[in-house]
Structure 1
Amino acid sequence: MKTYGTEPGIPSPARVGISEITVSEGDDTLTSYGLGSCLAIALYDPETEIGGLAHAMLPDGDAAENSDRKPGKYANTAIRALLRRMVENGASYTSVEAKIAGGSDMFEFDSFGDGVGQRNVVAAKDELERLGVPLVAEDVGGETGRTVEFTPGTGALVVRSANESGETRKYD
């Protein structure tokens, strides 16, 4: 497995945990478990087969003190960091596409307005639009958790629901 810019402590095959980012290529599989309100952001370049996966916990890191040390923690800074690492390793910025999954609102807190999950989705979509990266698939919202598997070489994103049905969806 050839991974680039892997956060310390990520085993092989690559598990992408909360606030982590991993860039890889080809038939490698990048996996994130336990997405509730967190958002999995998969970026890939179909021409070079370089892609990456982030497991973002919060929507906006621009004002956060540690966003430069832990860019994967926030949806918007995770997208920037993934894109930068991919391009540094040979991806073409103009070919990159995005897929997102997660962003559930599993708990209701009336006093907070939109839940963290929904805010993560909005932040990611806004950042992708700002950077000109097309969002080609999404599996977001609802009230159940998810697990995702992403293959950079094909761009395939497999999403498994954590509900009773255990439904699996694949986005090629």
Structure 2
Amino acid sequence: MKKILTLFAVVGLIAFSSCEGPEGPEGPQGQDGLIAEVFQVKGVNFTSNNDYNPIIPLDPTIGTSDMVLVYRQDGTDGGVPVWKMTPELYYLPDGTLDFGYNSNFTIRDVSIYMDGGDLGSVLSTFRLNQTFRIVIIPGYLTGTAKSANKADFSDYKSVIARYGIDESKMKELKVK
């Protein structure tokens, strides 16, 4: 029995003393505080003067792997805004496209534009004084394509919750 206890004591001493020595390689560099953000832009007008395509400048710039989501406020429900994700399409009774909202982005701005036939005939309630929210999610937060596919990006509140976005820190933007 003394031999077994002595063996355990020796093995324990070797194990604990082997923790000394040079440190291993440094871990990967952090992401410099990049977090998902939400921006709001009010009073967006779609007119022939801006070719139904207002441009919203962004600061900070958008990274090449970032995901940009654009939502339009489509009224309220009990005082709470209702958000619809772009693209958002409206059809005529015969099934043809009447008009829709769509978006694209560069590293410096977001373009929100209307598609359709006669955009000048679209009711002003859909063309004037619109409010949009732009959500930027850094690429490293979306993880693998497999995990990104599990997110319901069409639901604004779900996106805000999933990426821990603090709406009280939302920044207001102006149309260019």
Place the TM-score, normalised by the shorter chain, in its bin. under 0.3
Question: Which protein, 1 or 2, shows the higher relative CO under an 8 Å CA cutoff with sep ≥ 6?
Answer: 2
TM-score (norm 2): 0.26
